[in-house]
Amino acid sequence: MSVFDNFRHLKKDMEDNGWVIDAFPFQYNNFNYIVLAKLYQDNEKKPKFALMKTKIMRRDNVSMNITIPVNSNGFIIKNIKEFREFFSIEYEPNLGDILTQFTENFARFIPSQINLNKPDWLKDPMVNDLSTSDSENPNRRFCYDVRRSGNRTPFNDNKTRLLRPSLYSLFCDDQSISFFYSVEVEQEETDEEILAKFSRRQST
The CA distance from 121 to 60, in Å, is 10
What percentage of the chain carries pLDDT values higher than 70?
Answer: 99
Handedness of CA 53, 58, 63, 65 (dihedral sign): negative
Task: List helix spans (H) across 23-78.
Answer: none
Q: Cα dist. 38→21, 52, 123, 126, 181 in Å? A: 5, 6, 14, 10, 22
Which pLDDT score, from 0 to 100, does residue 198 have?
93
What percentage of the chain carries pLDDT values higher than 90?
Answer: 89
Which pLDDT score, from 0 to 100, does residue 37 have?
98
Which pLDDT score, from 0 to 100, does residue 150 have?
86
The CA distance from 172 to 190, in Å, is 17
Whether 36 contacts 21, CB under 8 Å: yes
Output the DSSP codes for 76-130: --S-HHHHHHHTT----TTHHHHHHHHHHHHHTT--SS------HHHHHHHHHHH
pLDDT tens, residue by residue, 32-65: 999 999 999 998 999 999 999 999 999 999 999 9
Whether 179 contacts 159, CB under 8 Å: yes
pLDDT tens, residue by residue, 121-148: 999 999 999 999 999 999 999 999 999 9
Could you tell me the pLDDT band of residue 90, with boundaries at 50, 70 and 90?
confident
The CA distance from 118 to 121, in Å, is 8
Could you tell me the pLDDT band of residue 93, with boundaries at 50, 70 and 90?
confident
Mean pLDDT of 160-189: 97
| pTM, entire model | 0.92
Mean pLDDT of 88-103: 88
Fill in the DSSP letter of residue 40. Answer: P
